[in-house]
Amino acid sequence: MLFDAAEIARRVDALAGEIARDIRGDLLAVVILKGSFVFAADLIRALERAGLSPQVDFITLASYGAGSESAGRVSLVRDLSEDVRGRTVLIVDDIVDTGRTLKFAREELLGRGAAAVRTCLLLDKRAKRNVAIEPDYVGFAIEDRFVVGYGLDLAHRYRGLPYIGVVVPTTP
Ligand code: PRP
């Protein structure tokens, strides 16, 4: 266990407070699926408690590669339904690793005419970054370890764990 449910809940509330202090008025939260659906559900409700009521839309991006390593190619699997032109957008994702997904999403939204794009990441695995991008809001900075739970998967499973855990390899 890296972060338990209570620790995550406290941090998500604090993040929502920071965001609500910085951003006023119209906001479109763009949730990057699949991994961030659990974080986003909690963050959106925390934002509401903090006095900010964003619209919400979803985009599915995937970075393809073998096993736990992302290979460097980001593809758009399912698009937004909203027009982002002129909007202030908050990208919500579970983890930034190499940074490619976040960079792709940010450039895509700016390219479509978003007025401003802010980024909120629950986890930041800084050691793995290989493109220049820094998220605006970060829940927890973590070491280079493979994490699961609270939306994050291992081979498409364990997304429903209420905590974030580190995968420990077992010997056969
Ligand atoms: C994960 C995660 C981020 C991305 C981060 O998504 O949800 O979107 O990788 O990695 P990067 O910084 O190296 O681009 P993944 O492609 O595994 O898909 P999923 O969210 O559907 O599990």
Domain boundaries, the chain: 5-146
pLDDT in tens, 24-33: 989 999 999 9
- Please tell me the predicted confidence (pLDDT) of residue 170: 82
CATH architecture of the domain formed by 5-146: 3-Layer(aba) Sandwich (3.40)
What ligand 1 atom has the least distance to the C-alpha of 35? 20
For 54-72, what is the mean pLDDT? 77
What ligand 1 atom has the least distance to the C-alpha of 129? 12
pTM for the full predicted model: 0.94
Instruction: Look at residue 74 and tell me whether its pLDDT is greater than 90.
Output: yes
Tell me what the pLDDT averaged over the chain comes to.
94
For 112-125, what is the mean pLDDT? 98
Catalytic residue list: 97
Burial (CB count <10 Å: 0-12, 13-18, 19+), residue 60: middle
- Please tell me the predicted confidence (pLDDT) of residue 63: 83
- Please tell me the predicted confidence (pLDDT) of residue 66: 44
Q: For residue 145, what are its two tokens?
A: 């370890």
Yes or no: say if 96 and 37 are a contact pair by the CB < 8 Å rule.
Answer: no
Q: What is the four-CA torsion angle of 95, 101, 104, 107, rounded to 10 degrees?
A: 0
The 3-state DSSP class for residue 71 equals coil
Q: How far apart are the first and last CA of the chain?
A: 22
Instruction: Look at residue 69 and tell me whether its pLDDT is greater than 60.
Output: no
Which residue has a Cα nearest atom 8 of ligand 1?
Answer: 101
Ligand 1 mean position, distance from CA 59 (Å): 12
**% residues pLDDT > 90 (the chain):** 89
- Please tell me the predicted confidence (pLDDT) of residue 171: 76
Pocket of ligand 1 (CB under 6 A): 32, 34-35, 62-63, 70, 93-102, 153
Yes or no: say if 95 and 122 are a contact pair by the CB < 8 Å rule.
Answer: yes
Ligand 1 mean position, distance from CA 35 (Å): 7
Ligand 1 mean position, distance from CA 63 (Å): 6
